[in-house]
Structure 1
Amino acid sequence: MDQDDSETCQMCPMDEWPNREKTRCLPKLQEFLSYKEDKMASFFCFLVILCCVITCFTLKKFILYWDTPLVKANNRTLSFTVLVSLLLSFLCVFFFLGRPLDITCMLRQTLFGIFFSLAISSLIAKSMMVCIAFKATKPSSSWKKWTGVTLPYSIVVVCSSVQVLICVSWLSTYPPYQGFDMTTYPGKIIIQCNEGSDIWFYSMLGYLGFLAAVSFVLAFMVRTLPDSYNEAKYITFSMLVFCSVWIAMIPAYLSTRGKYMVAVEIFAILTSCAGILSCIFLPKLYILLIKPYLNTRKHVFSWVRK
Structure 2
Amino acid sequence: MGSSRRSQRTQLPIASTNRRITIFFVFVAVLLSIASGRALLLQGIDASAYAQTAAAQLNQSQVLKADRGVIYDRNGEVLAETQPAFSVIADPYSISSNGADPDHMTAEQRAKAEQAPAAIAGILVKYLGGSKDDYLKQLSNARTSDGGPNQYELIARKVSAAVYQQMTAELDAGGWYGIYSAPDPVRYYPNGTLASNVLGFVNYDDEGAAGLEYGQDEHLTGTDGKQTYQSSYYGTIPLGDSTLIEPIDGASYTLTIDSELQWMAETALTNAVDSAKAKSGTVIIQA
TM-score range, shorter chain: under 0.3
More helix by share: 1
Using CA pairs under 8 Å that are at least 6 residues apart, name the structure with larger relative contact order, 1 or 2. 2
- Give TM-score, length-normalised by structure 2: 0.26
- Give TM-score, length-normalised by structure 1: 0.25
More strand by share: 2
Question: Which of structures 1 and 2 has the bigger CA Rg?
Answer: 2
